[in-house]
Amino acid sequence: MSADIETLEEQLIAAKRDAQSVVAGLTGEQGTWRSDARSWSIAECLDHLAIGNRVYLRAMEEPAVRARTEGRQRRSPATPGLLGGWFVRTLEPPVRARLKAPRLIRPQKDPSLSDALADFVASQEKVRAFLRSYADIDLAGVRFPNPFVPGLRFSLATGLHVIAAHERRHLWQAWRVRRRLNPSAEEA
């Protein structure tokens, strides 16, 4: 596996470990606690990520399959382009601007902590399987329609980097919730 693909996979594995750490030792009630009515719980952060991962992968799958069928082999590293790179950077923690989640990926109302973690881990496995399955195609050259912004197309490489940065963003948010819930909690 090439270094860029390994790096993406390592980022996804780190997010999975971080998610497991943020929920470690919490009761179901603590996992659904919110500091106020407008904020999300840890379970909602994880649920949002699981839903977002599934939506992004659904949008990316058909162009990846088509690229494989057309024989579009890897030609360059799986890195985002200029616009995609900027978008990825806007997602990175620490969060500077709060954005309202698109309706399509808003978390369920009061998901259980155990279900939200299991769904997140399952979505992560699918992202990692996609990454491994399509590592040999031109991830930087194949485009897919952004599922949230009509008319905007990202490369598959950008989509994978968006998923990883989006996970870091909301795990950072989950840790902030945990620190409010338990000020002695430490990030992994």
pLDDT beyond 80 at 92? yes
Segment 24-82, tens digit of pLDDT: 999 999 999 998 988 999 999 999 999 999 999 999 999 999 999 999 999 999 999 89
What is the pLDDT at residue 184?
A: 65
What is the pLDDT at residue 188?
A: 52
What is the pLDDT at residue 96?
A: 80
What is the pLDDT at residue 98?
A: 79
Write the Ramachandran bin of 151: left for phi over 0, alpha for psi from -120 to 50, otherwise beta.
left
Task: Give the domain ranges of the chain.
Answer: 3-23+41-181
Confidence of residue 102 (pLDDT cuts 50, 70, 90): confident
Cα distance between residue 151 and residue 75, in whole Å: 25
3-23+41-181 CATH fold: Four Helix Bundle (Hemerythrin (Met), subunit A) (1.20.120)
Q: Name the pTM for this structure.
A: 0.94
Looking at the DSSP bridge assignments, the partners of residue 73 are 137
